[in-house]
Structure 1
Amino acid sequence: MNPLIFGNMKFKQSFKLNISNKPLGYFTLGTLITVATSFYSLVVVPQAQARQLVAILSEQEKAERAQLIQTANSQMGEGKFAAAETSLRELLKKFPRDAFGYYQLGNVLARQNRSEDAIAQYQQALKYNPRYAVAYNAIGLTYGSLSQWDEAASQFRKALEINPNYGDAMYNLGQVLWQGNYREDAIASFEKALKIFKAEKRDEKVRRIEKTIEQLKKGDDPGIS
């Protein structure tokens, strides 16, 4: 019985069928680094508000912030998570209302298996940006890694309330619904995610999710490994 891979974390529960393709979670290092370099484009807020977030910083502050983020990203890419944590805490000391800084710190803590600390940082990010859908998705992933399916589903739904076309959150919701034995709801979420990925022309994810849906429809209900 192959354990379900959620992001890059193995869940304690598993499917009773062989699903070899990796789900489309957010906790992969490449995604974390990509998110880090495009923060303002990923925050789900009106464009005018996003411009205001940037405008409040001086040119020197923008450069300093960018350098700290770049340093943290490089450290993350090298697997130096403790060093990345130090860099991000320095960022937040200088920019204490930086939602992305808290979000990225949560990612670093999650990679160190410090789940409660990670959730606390994601919640701080939401304090300063209540419509930060990726932070809700990240909290959901963290709860999922702890096999807390109901809590995870709640967070994915919050992300989808902000952005109904958030394909990764929709797919992740399907995974935790499946783990909770909500078979039909899970497949419905996977199919919605598939439509989103097709519309976005994300062909690799389309192929993965089509294979997943096909296998799930042929399989038994999930059980505990």
Structure 2
Amino acid sequence: MKKNLFRAKLVQTMIVGIILLFPTFARSQNELPTAEELRGKPNEAEQQRLDKKQSRQAALRQGIQLYKTGNYAASETIFRQLVEAQPEEAKYHFYFGNALFYQRKIEEATQAYQEAIRLNPKYALAYNALGFLQATQGQWDEAIIQYQKALEINADYAEALKNLGEAFWKKGNIAEAKNAWNKALTLYTQQGNNKAAQQIQEVLNRTAQ
């Protein structure tokens, strides 16, 4: 009986202790720093870097939009500024080259594409663009080399295959041209690019006659 009474008092004492401790525990939990506080606010230099990065990203989007709508001169201005601000960014040189190319500024565009490739040797888009530029100048051998480099990086690059087929055709390499076009047709079909697939099919139909 005495043992039971002792155990009951012990349990009661423990419960009272927990109740007394709980507010302190809850208060300490509420005083824990938030995730934002743990991360801390960026200092002035970090904030400036973030602001500049966001500004460049906005300029990049604007430049691409201008390029897509055919406003190449305005696009050139934006990408020239981006290249000057961050000359080690390959994609800025690539888009700069595009804006220059469609204004027939061939020498500058060539330099821009080459710089993009120098900065990023795995830049398949830049190899393809340089090849297309060379093709417009009748430099078919040089264009083929660039297209093949693009395809070494990305074997599923349908546009590079299409362009490679045209270059082979211009060189009189009919079998190689059709082989490249058939591969491009398969890829365009798999990718759901029906318009491009139809164009390739029409080319193949014409060359079969």
Q: Same fold (TM over 0.5)?
A: yes
Aligned residue for 2:207? Answer: 216
Partner of 1:106: 97
Structure 1 counterpart SS, 2:82 = helix
CA–CA distance in structure 2, aligned partners of residues 87 and 197 of structure 1: 32
Q: How big is each residue's C-alpha offset from its partner over 1:169-203, in whole Å with a ceiling of 9 and x where there is no partner?
A: 00100001001111111011111111111222222
Q: Quote the Cα distance in structure 2 between the aligned partners of 1:171 and 1:77.
A: 21
**Corresponding position: 1:92 with 2:92:** no
What 5-or-longer segments of structure 2 have no aligned partner?
A: 1-47
- Higher relative contact order by CA 8 Å / sep ≥ 6: 1 or 2? 1
TM-score (norm 2): 0.73
Aligned length: 162
Do the aligned partners of residues 67 and 174 (structure 1) sit closer, same or farther apart at CA in structure 2, a change above 3 Å counting?
Answer: same
| Larger strand share, 1 or 2 | 1
Percent identical across equivalent pairs? Answer: 32
- Structure-1-length-normalised TM-score: 0.68
Q: 5+ residue gaps in structure 1? A: 1-56, 219-225
Q: CA RMSD in A?
A: 1.7
Equivalent of residue 163 in structure 2, options 156, 172, 186: 172
- Matched residues in 1 for 2:130 and 2:51: separation? 32
SS at 1:190 equivalent: helix
Note the C-alpha offset of 1:77. Answer: 4.5
User: Which residue of 117, 122, 137 corresponds with 1:146?
Assistant: 137
Q: Per-residue CA shift, 1:108-160, capped at 9, x if unaligned?
A: 11011111211110111111111010000000110011111111111000000
Name which one, 1 or 2, has greater alpha-carbon Rg: 2
Aligned partner letter, 1:131: K
Change (3 A) 1:209 1:74: closer
Picking from 36, 51, 59, the partner of 1:60 is 51
> How far apart, CA to CA, are the structure 2 residues paired with 1:91 and 1:74?
15
Offset at residue 81 of structure 1 (A)? 2.6
What is aligned with 1:124?
A: 115
| Cα gap change, 1:195 to 1:117, in 2 (>3 Å) | same
Task: Determine which structure has the larger helix proportion and give its number.
Answer: 2
CA separation in 2, counterparts of 1:208 and 1:81?
A: 26
